[in-house]
């Protein structure tokens, strides 16, 4: 299948699967332990049904949203994916370029293989993901670099208190120190385009950490240096300290409990991303979409509530917005795209999701994605909103 023939995110996944060696595809695709959480994330969307409203003027439709003082073209962005350059050399910058062209936010992974400064030049509206690490001096300097690069939003990821047990990765050979076995090399030989890229470029460096590591480390040793720093013990005091250090917008990624959302609000956090790390950490974790309504109820509109994990369709984005999310992030979808076709593949993934969301909004009679609400979900109260009822009342009055 050619890139231009891809009609869905799953089509891009299939193209990526053909190009990537098993060990790299498993890293991209897999989750923790039995991967039940991975399946539950997608199943959570499937159980919701949209309730369309007809006789609505949908001739003009708008997906734009304002978030932390910036306007984006659609209510979704690219979530961070660590070591993404393993699927294609330069993939971090390709995703950043695709996000900039699509006018969407790109979250630089804490395990990025492109530097903060490189990404900021390509996509100035990017955000930076931070994992709490052991070296306080390194943390402070990373924050300084983010600010100096002109990036205004810091995303602190809190759902990795320990390294998870990703059995699929262990079985396929994706374990530090990332030295391929004979079996991995033989299987990889069936994917010559990827192998050629790897032979030309080698294992990518985690560029953001080079300056903090001992001089002369190769890429493999640098990943070990990073793994010694992250995860680090962290608590609410850690987050409070980060809030004191960081003067820009602060988002906490990985919140799943309404009490934690309320506590983050008390600490002056600007937004949260309801997330279970794409099913890659705790296999028995609840799906973020199922956790979302209680969190929205707990904090209301006093902070920006966002969501990731499990999104594969534009209808998934619409469903999350109906349940109260202000914004969403997608990780695997653009990763499939960049694996399948570089920057153009990532753009293809974003355009598929954008077109599907536009179609859904038009089909259910919601011209502005900002107006998606529980009223568009089956099981919600049936009375029309004031905005929806107004055209009918005006028509009756005129009659």
* Distance from C-alpha of 348 to C-alpha of 151, rounded to nearest angstrom: 26
234 is catalytic: no
Tokens for 107, please give them: 């979250």
In sequence order, the 6+-apart residues with CB closer than 8 A to the CB of 276 are 37, 41, 159, 254, 256, 282, 285, 286, 287, 288, 309
**CB atoms near residue 268 (< 10 Å):** 12
Q: Kindly list the distances between the CA atom of residue 293 and the CA atoms of 66, 97, 134, 175, in Å, as whole numbers in the listed order.
A: 21, 33, 34, 37
In sequence order, the 6+-apart residues with CB closer than 8 A to the CB of 131 are 110, 111, 156, 157, 160, 230, 231, 232
Phi-psi region of 126 (alpha: psi -120 to 50; beta: other; left: phi over 0): beta
Peptide bond into 231 cis (omega under 30): yes
What DSSP string runs through 290-339? HHHHHHHHHHTTSSEEEEESS--SHHHHHHHHHTT-SEEEESHHHHHHHH
Tokens for 202, please give them: 């080698």
| Radius of gyration for the chain, computed over Cα atoms and rounded to the nearest angstrom | 21
The three-point CA angle 14-20-22 to 5° equals 100
* Distance from C-alpha of 287 to C-alpha of 252, rounded to nearest angstrom: 17
Q: From the candidates 130, 191, 234, 277, which is the catalytic residue?
A: 277
Give, for 376, the enclosing helix (H) or strand (E).
none
* Distance from C-alpha of 305 to C-alpha of 294, rounded to nearest angstrom: 11
In sequence order, the 6+-apart residues with CB closer than 8 A to the CB of 383 are none
Positions annotated as catalytic residues are 277
């Amino acid at each position: 299948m050619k890139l231009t023939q891809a009609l869905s995110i799953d089509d891009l996944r299939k193209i990526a699967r053909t190009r990537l060696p098993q060990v790299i595809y498993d890293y991209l695709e897999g989750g923790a332990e039995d991967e039940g959480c991975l399946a539950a994330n997608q199943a959570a969307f499937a159980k919701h049904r949209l309730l369309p409203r007809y006789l609505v003027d949908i001739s003009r439709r708008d997906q734009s949203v304002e978030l932390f003082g910036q306007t984006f073209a659609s209510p979704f962005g690219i979530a961070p994916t660590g070591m993404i350059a393993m699927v294609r050399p330069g993939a971090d910058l390709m995703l950043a370029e695709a996000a900039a062209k699509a006018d969407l936010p790109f979250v630089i992974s804490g395990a990025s293989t492109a530097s903060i400064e490189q990404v900021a030049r390509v996509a100035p509206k990017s955000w930076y993901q931070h994992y709490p690490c052991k070296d306080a001096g390194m943390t402070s300097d990373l924050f300084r670099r983010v600010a100096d690069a002109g990036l205004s939003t810091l995303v602190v990821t809190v759902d990795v208190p320990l390294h998870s047990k990703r059995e699929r990765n262990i079985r396929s050979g994706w374990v530090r120190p990332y030295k391929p076995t004979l079996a991995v090399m033989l299987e990889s030989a069936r994917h010559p385009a990827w192998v050629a890229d790897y032979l030309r470029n080698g294992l990518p460096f985690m560029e953001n950490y080079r300056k903090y590591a001992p001089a002369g480390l190769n890429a493999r040793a640098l990943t070990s240096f990073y793994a010694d720093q992250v995860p680090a013990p962290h608590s609410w005091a850690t987050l409070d300290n980060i809030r004191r250090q960081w003067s820009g917008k602060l988002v906490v990624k990985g919140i799943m409990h309404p009490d934690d959302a309320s506590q983050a609000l008390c600490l002056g956090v600007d937004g949260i991303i309801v997330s279970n790390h794409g099913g890659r950490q705790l296999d028995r974790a609840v799906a973020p979409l199922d956790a979302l309504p209680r969190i929205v109820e707990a904090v209301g509109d006093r902070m920006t509530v966002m969501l990731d994990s499990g999104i594969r369709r534009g209808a998934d984005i619409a469903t999350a917005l109906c349940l109260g999310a202000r914004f969403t992030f997608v990780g695997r979808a653009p990763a499939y795209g960049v694996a399948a076709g570089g920057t153009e593949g990532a753009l293809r993934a974003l355009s598929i999701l954008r077109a599907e969301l536009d179609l859904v909004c038009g089909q259910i009679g919601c011209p502005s994605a900002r107006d998606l609400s529980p009223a568009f979900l089956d099981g919600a109260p049936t009375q029309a909103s004031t905005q929806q009822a107004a055209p009918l009342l005006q028509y009756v009055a005129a009659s």
